[in-house]
Amino acid sequence: MNVDRIIKWFMPNEERFHELLEKATQNLLLAAKLFSEIAHATTLEDRRVKGVQLKALERDGDQITREIFEALNTTFITPFDREDIRSLASDLDDILDHLESVAKYLVLFELAEAPEPLRRFAEILAAMTVEIDRMRELIWDMGHIQKIQTAMVRVSELENQGDSLYFAVISDLFKRGCTESIEILKWKEVYDGLEEACDRCKDFTHVVGNVTIKNA
């Protein structure tokens, strides 16, 4: 190992992590927008086509996550706590996984309808990913801590809206009775996945909170 490589090993590689996390959140924004189109679609064929596109974004997200983990394994000093960076990447990957899974369920279960709760969940998640991208951009400068906290509060508000929507729609589903039991189970799987995606968005803000506390 020459001197330059030794120096590179010991220097914080902020630019690399900045670039990779930006790629991850930008990819997530595209996925959330595409999922919203899937949620608003009213034909299985439209959902099937867009689902394939979403799967491609999910694969891109997996690749970005692997690159972040590789960068963590090959960098001695990281700009933030190593486990915090790993958690940020994992949460972004999990959100995207849930979106892709729900899109797959809609096609697999042959659910062509676009009920208001599904469309509303898509709007909530799209808004959450915008705030996540904003936080990702701001955390590199702790002078932005007030803006970071504002974004965190906004995600928390949206997550509460998602929780309320989830409980309302699940309650409504089970009021339908046994005659629609299969349909109830199909839609419950969909809404469970969307609620999990909202939870992972909230988890991302918890990690951002850790970062701000440790680096303020």
Q: Where are the domains of the chain?
A: 3-215
Phi/psi for 42 (5° steps) reads: -120, 15
Judge contact between 75 and 7, C-beta under 8 A: no
pLDDT tens readout for residues 74-131: 887 888 899 999 999 999 999 999 999 999 999 999 999 999 999 999 999 999 999 9
Region 3-215: CATH code: 1.20.58.220
206-118-147 Cα angle (round to 5): 30
CA pair distance 152, 134, nearest whole angstrom: 10
| pLDDT value at 9 more than 50 | no
pTM: 0.91
Q: Are 129 and 201 within 8 A, CB to CB?
A: yes
